[in-house]
Structures are given as C-alpha cells and as structure tokens.
Chain A
Amino acid sequence: QVQLQASGPGLVKPSETLSLTCTVSGDSISSYYWSWIRQPPGKGLEWIGYIYNSASTNYNPSLKSRVTISVDTSKNQLSLKLSSVTAADTAVYYCARGTVGLTSGWGQGILVTVSS
C-alpha cells in the first residue's frame, strides 16, 4: 500500500519560496501521476499540478508562473516549489497519487503558514 509523507518548513516569509518534499513508499515515483493539492484553513481544495513519467508536468494556470513540480527518482521523492508567496498561499499542502487529475492516495498533508 502506497504511503506519502510530506515534509518541509511550516513557516515561510512573504515573497520567499515555499519548498516541500513528499517521500513515497510502497510504490515507484516513476509510475502514476503525482499531484499537489492545497487547502486553505477552513476552505476548499485547489489542484496545483501534477507530474508523470518523471518529467511531464501540468500546472493550474492560476499558479503556473510560480510553481515547479519535480521528482527525484533516486530518493523516490516528489517536490513542490512555489515562489513569491503571500498570505493567500497559507494552506495545508497535500501530495497525492493517481491518474491524470484523479487522486486515489493522499498523504497526510502539511500546514504551511506564510507570515513575517
């Protein structure tokens, strides 16, 4: 059974870059689609983007200019970088496995707060 564990700083300053890592166990990062999804506190879900075949990506146009999703196959890890963050980027960030935009296995999520 696949397990996903997100990690990274819980606090990021405005204008800086948010960087998160998702460690995948029980499955190869070279298979499936791997997504990032976020949820502001008390609000709904927003799809950020996905990567598949270790290099092909698709991003939400609302975030595309600031987002990079990549994988490290040697570590079986997925990463997310979001630049020029503001308070509006405060959210729980989830990594998830699936096919195209459908996600069937989610990590537990990590809360990232943007504040000085």
Chain B
Amino acid sequence: EIVLTQSPGTLSLSPGERATLSCRASQSVSSNNLAWYQQKPGQAPRLLIYGASSRATAIPDRFSGSGSGTDFTLTISRLEPEDFAVYYCQQYGDSPYTFGQGTKLEIK
C-alpha cells in the first residue's frame, strides 16, 4: 500500500498570499496518477487536480499541481477567502487507492 504524507499539517496564510502544499509518496505513483481534493466543513471533497497537473472542470487557474514520482505539490497562486479549507492528495495508480492525512489551510 502506498502511504502519502502531506506537509505541513496546518498552513496559516493571508488572502492574496501564495500557498504551497506538499504530498510525498512512500513509493513511485504509477503514471503520476495523483489527485488533489478540497474539502470544506460539512461538505464532500471536491476534485481540483488529477494526473498530478490537470485541473478538473471549473477549477480556477490559480490552482496548479506539479510533481512526479514520489513528490507532488499543489500551489494556490493568490489565496481567495473561499480557498481556506482542508486539502487531500490521493494516489489512484495502485490499489488500494490511498489518501494523505490532509493539510488544513487556515486564515492567518
């Protein structure tokens, strides 16, 4: 089973700042099948990025994903108030498909 470790656990930033979230895999993720999800309190997760760097439908271009192999990054170029949430990475290259433990992005 591939273990995904996200860092930091909590990130405190202000609107307008740049956010960089990390996801490291215990082994190489097949075909860079790495996704990022956003979850707000009381809501289901929403797919942001798939294939490590492709934005899902209707996702603003301030969200970008990068990385390959075992190291992946989600970048939010300029934080909007609605971006403060919990972010999860997920690998879907090898079953069982696993999630990271999450990074909470909070307002500073």
Contacts and interface: CB of A to CB of B under 8 A. Distances in A.
Interface residues on B, range: 20 to 34
A21 B61 CA distance: 36
Interface of A: 44-47, 58, 60-62, 94, 96, 100-104, 106-109
Kindly list the 6 A-B residue pairs having the minimum CB-CB distance in the complex, ordered from nearest.
Answer: A101-B92, A101-B97, A106-B44, A45-B99, A60-B96, A47-B97
21 contacts: A44-B100, A44-B101, A45-B37, A45-B45, A46-B99, A47-B98, A47-B99, A62-B96, A94-B45, A100-B92, A100-B97, A101-B91, A101-B92, A101-B95, A102-B35, A102-B90, A102-B92, A104-B47, A104-B57, A106-B44, A108-B43
Interface of B: 1, 33, 35, 37, 43-47, 50, 56-57, 88, 90-93, 95-102
